[in-house]
Amino acid sequence: MEYFIIVFSAIFVNNIVLAQFLGICPFLGVSKKITTSLGMAGAVVFVMTIATLVTYLIFRFILMPLDIIYLQTISYILVIAALVQMVEIVMKKVSPALYQALGVYLPLITTNCAILGVALLVIQNDYNLMESVVFAIANAIGFGLAIALFSGIREHLALLNLPKGMEGVPAALIIAGLLSMAFMGFAGVV
């Protein structure tokens, strides 16, 4: 039951993008097309899960025993940057089309504060290893759900005749706010 609460809460109640406002840059930047947003979501699932696993182990078995917890943020950033480089190399070989479609947004995963935020929240919430991995996967799924919904709405908005002042970013920000409010409806469930 505890794992269900972690998953449901991370995906719907405390969605990393819509409730905690982490990862907004790729959320707004990659969400113009569903295909690129799903590719970004897949990359975030992989990087967030592996980064959380590795940073948890580094914290518990290196930083805590050596009493150098003050190096937590810098070590986490280095781990995330290395993992993003690995993902970029693999994606370039496996799916060149997706690699080209993501373009500059793939390196943005390195500075995606959602990935660093989840790694820090795991320690803050005092999760064990299994709970940390479940929390990371659930947050990545929540990120993917939010960006997929958002990109679907943005693709539909591109077909509409909006007033000149509402085209592009203004409409996107209003939709993001409405999605955020919609997800707030889950707050009373958990």
In a domain, 93, yes or no: yes
Residue 101 confidence (pLDDT) above 80? no
4 within a domain of the structure (yes/no): no
Give me the pLDDT at residue 105, please. Answer: 65
Burial class (CB in 10 A: 0-12, 13-18, 19+), 15: buried
47: nearest Cα among 6, 98, 85: 85
pLDDT tens digits along 112-149: 789 999 999 999 999 999 999 999 999 999 999 999 99
- Tell me, yes or no, whether 189 lies in a domain: no
148 is in which domain, residue-wise?
Answer: 13-184
| 6, part of any domain | no
Domain tally for the chain? 1
| Residue 190 in domain | no
Helix (H, G, I), strand (E, B) or coil at 102: helix
pLDDT at 103: 66
pLDDT in tens, 44-86: 888 899 899 999 999 999 999 999 999 999 999 998 888 888 8
Residue 100: inside a domain? yes
Q: Is residue 102 part of a domain?
A: yes
Domain assignment present for 7: no
Burial of 179 (0-12, 13-18, 19+ CB in 10 A): middle
